Amino acid sequence: MSGARDETPLWLFADQLGPAVYGGEHAHREVLLVEATSALSKRRYHRQKLHLVLSALRHAEQDLGERATLLKADTYTDALRRFKRPVLVHEPTSHAAEKFVHRLRKDGLVADVLPTPTFALPRKDFQEWAGERTRFRMEDFYRGQRRRFDVLMNGADPVGNRWNYDEDNREPPPKKQSTLELPAPYRPREDDIDEQVRRDLDRMKLDTVGVDGPRLFAVTPTEATRALTRFIEQRLPSFGLYEDAIMSDDWAMSHSLLSVPLNLGVLHPLDAVEAAEKAYRDGNAPLAAVEGFIRQILGWREYMWHLYWHFGPDYTKKNELAARTRLPDWWADLDADAVTAQCLHHAMAGVRDRGWTHHIQRLMVLGSHALQRGYRPDELTEWFATTFVDGFRWVMPTNVVGMSQHADGGLLATKPYTSGGAYINKMSDHCKDCAFDPKKRLGDDACPFTAGYWAFTHRHREMLAKNNRTRRTVSSMERLNDLDAVLEQESARDRF
């Protein structure tokens, strides 16, 4: 580096607010932070999502002290022109933002664009791994990550001589309990900054969804460290067993609630991974729980990040299942009270009240419902990205288009992920209090997931019959003696 470049200020986006970005070799630099009103109003975001972003930016200004300048402007470009000096910036986390940053560089407002430091694996290294592949398996990537970063390894072999303990982590919720009866997750204390954010958002009168509520997630490096410590010490040992279960009265269960600080950049993924591995090595958490947690972060999360870039900006246009149904108003408006099915009601209420549900509610309740009803994958991706507090632009395309909606034709996932009510009945405590019967596919109390499963199977029977993993489902459907009645019922269903 030249001496002149060494003094160039560093501009941080709102998801680049941790020491991995502004520390180390950049610890001497002045830091620019920008609140752009146009970015807040560009889409219909969850109210709590906007609160988290503004709180994170303003806490970063406070924590960085004299190093930081926070500018409030209509647009990022306006702020950079007011700042009057070229800035360094790390690669942003979306295609649109990357294109924008390179345009700013041509205009002289950005001096240079540096590699992203908030993930474990550099983008260029993933490109080498991907090579000419046309089909992707997360397990292959995950094992490579374990080897590269020497995580849960004994030399060349995985600890326990197994790479994956997923089969040990599929327990249904414990019977005769309404919660897992664990210590509560870390919850930050709101301060004067949060109160000012709330007043400012009220004044802006933005078109938002969801309800305002207490800040539930860490937005600073200090808070993130506390949240990680609480999870590792008090909740990780129970995480594995019940990570796929759903409980009506326990929204957090044993989940880490670290996706927000990870996606804000205030917690580095390798710090979370190393803390979990240490808990296992010290005898404080079972291997299955630790491996499951590490697979989520070092495996799945990194995989989704890299495939977002690898598949390119047109990936969200994929719609191989020809899903054309627009999102209904009750879905778009988070009107959980309009929903009868308990599993869907609780999932939608979680989004409304917190901007968050855990991964099984996302995939096997919200995603499965959308897949069965043929909601447009582009609209669904946008909905997840704007209503979930951890739904930054890179997060949702591969999770929704690829994993949840199978809209990429199997590029990412080997089969569509959907099920009838039997799965939800097994893995949750919702069905016992539901007006719908998970065992019924026909009648006023027919479960919309059970009946919807067969309607979906019929609609895509040719594709499913060609897939070894779903061929038997088509054979089962063809033996139903009431299939025509089920199809007619579901084509007219307007009550969920």
SS in 3 state form for 45-72? Answer: CEHHHHHHHHHHHHHHHHHHHHHEEEEE
Residue 96: CATH number of its domain: 3.40.50.620
Q: What are phi and psi of 35, to 5 degrees?
A: -100, 110
Q: Is residue 246 within 8 Å of 343, Cβ to Cβ?
A: yes
Task: Give the pLDDT confidence score for residue 134 in this predicted structure.
Answer: 81
Residue 450 has pLDDT above 50, yes or no: yes
Residue 200 has pLDDT above 70, yes or no: yes
Residue 143: CATH number of its domain: 1.25.40.80
Residue 477 has pLDDT above 50, yes or no: yes
Q: What is the pLDDT of residues 319-374, one digit of tens each?
A: 999 999 999 999 999 999 999 999 999 999 999 999 999 999 999 999 999 999 99
Neighbours of 376 (CB within 10 A): 18
306 and 437: one domain? no
Whether 2 is in a domain gets the answer: no
Q: Is 87 helix (H, G, I), strand (E, B) or coil?
A: strand
d(CA 202, CA 212): 10
Triad 38, 40, 45: Cα angle to 5°: 140
23 and 155: one domain? no
Task: Give the pLDDT confidence score for residue 168 in this predicted structure.
Answer: 86
Residue 4 has pLDDT above 90, yes or no: no
Q: To the nearest 10°, the Cα dihedral for 314, 316, 318, 324?
A: -140
Q: What is the DSSP letter of 90?
A: E
Whether 343 is in a domain gets the answer: yes
- The bridge status of strand 153-154 relative to strand 157-158 is antiparallel
Q: What is the mean pLDDT of residues 17-34?
A: 96
| Nearest Cα to Cα of residue 387 among 402, 400, 373 | 400
Structure tokens at 140: 């292959």
Whether 199 is in a domain gets the answer: no
Whether 41 is in a domain gets the answer: yes
| Nearest Cα to Cα of residue 384 among 371, 375, 393 | 393
d(CA 53, CA 206): 15
Structure tokens at 327: 């999102």
Residue 5 has pLDDT above 60, yes or no: no
Residue 467 has pLDDT above 50, yes or no: yes
Residue 347: CATH number of its domain: 1.10.579.10
Q: Which span out of 120-134, 165-179, 181-195 was modeled with the highest average pLDDT?
A: 181-195
127 and 107: one domain? no
Whether 296 is in a domain gets the answer: yes
Task: Give the pLDDT confidence score for residue 387 in this predicted structure.
Answer: 98
Question: The dihedral of CA 56, 41, 363, 408: what is its sign?
Answer: negative
d(CA 51, CA 154): 44
| Nearest Cα to Cα of residue 478 among 457, 493, 495, 492 | 457
- Cβ burial, residue 132 (10 Å; 0-12/13-18/19+): exposed
Q: Is residue 417 within 8 Å of 363, Cβ to Cβ?
A: yes
How far CA 114 is from CA of 28, 85, 324, in Å, comes to: 16, 17, 40
272 and 368: one domain? no
Whether 202 is in a domain gets the answer: no
d(CA 76, CA 369): 38
Domain boundary among 51, 82, 114: 114
Q: What is the mean pLDDT of residues 236-254?
A: 95
343 and 467: one domain? yes
d(CA 423, CA 172): 10
Q: What is the pLDDT of residues 48-92, one digit of tens each?
A: 999 999 999 999 999 999 999 999 999 999 999 999 999 999 999
Q: What is the pLDDT of residues 93-139, one digit of tens each?
A: 999 999 999 999 999 999 999 999 999 999 999 999 998 888 889 99
Whether 195 is in a domain gets the answer: no
Residue 1 has pLDDT above 70, yes or no: no
Domain boundary among 295, 310, 325: 310
d(CA 240, CA 362): 18
Q: String of b and e for 238-268 (b: at least 16 CB within 10 Å)?
A: bbbbbbbbbbbebbbbbbbbbbbbbbbbbbb
296 and 257: one domain? yes
223 and 265: one domain? yes
Whether 472 is in a domain gets the answer: yes
d(CA 406, CA 400): 8
Structural domains of the chain, count: 3
333 and 265: one domain? no
pLDDT band at residue 167 under the 50/70/90 scheme: confident
107 and 129: one domain? no
Residue 2 has pLDDT above 60, yes or no: no
* Three-class HEC string of 148-189: HHCCCEECCEEHHHCCCCHHHCCCCCCCCCCCCCCCCCCCCC
Task: Give the pLDDT confidence score for residue 136 in this predicted structure.
Answer: 84
Q: What are phi and psi of 133, to 5 degrees?
A: -60, 140
d(CA 90, CA 155): 34
Task: Give the pLDDT confidence score for residue 104 in this predicted structure.
Answer: 97
**Domain that includes residue 132, residue range:** 123-187+215-310
Q: What are phi and psi of 333, to 5 degrees?
A: -90, 0
Q: What are phi and psi of 478, to 5 degrees?
A: -65, -15
Q: Is residue 69 within 8 Å of 30, Cβ to Cβ?
A: yes
328 and 289: one domain? no
d(CA 67, CA 84): 16
Neighbours of 124 (CB within 10 A): 8
d(CA 447, CA 409): 27
Residue corresponding to tokens 């019922």:
489
230 and 162: one domain? yes
Domain boundary among 114, 135, 165: 114
Task: Give the pLDDT confidence score for residue 212 in this predicted structure.
Answer: 97
Task: Give the pLDDT confidence score for residue 226 in this predicted structure.
Answer: 98
d(CA 225, CA 397): 29
170 and 270: one domain? yes
In this predicted structure, which of 125-134, 298-307, 372-381, 421-430 has the lowest mean pLDDT?
Answer: 125-134
Q: What is the DSSP letter of 245?
A: -
| Nearest Cα to Cα of residue 323 among 284, 281, 381, 277 | 381
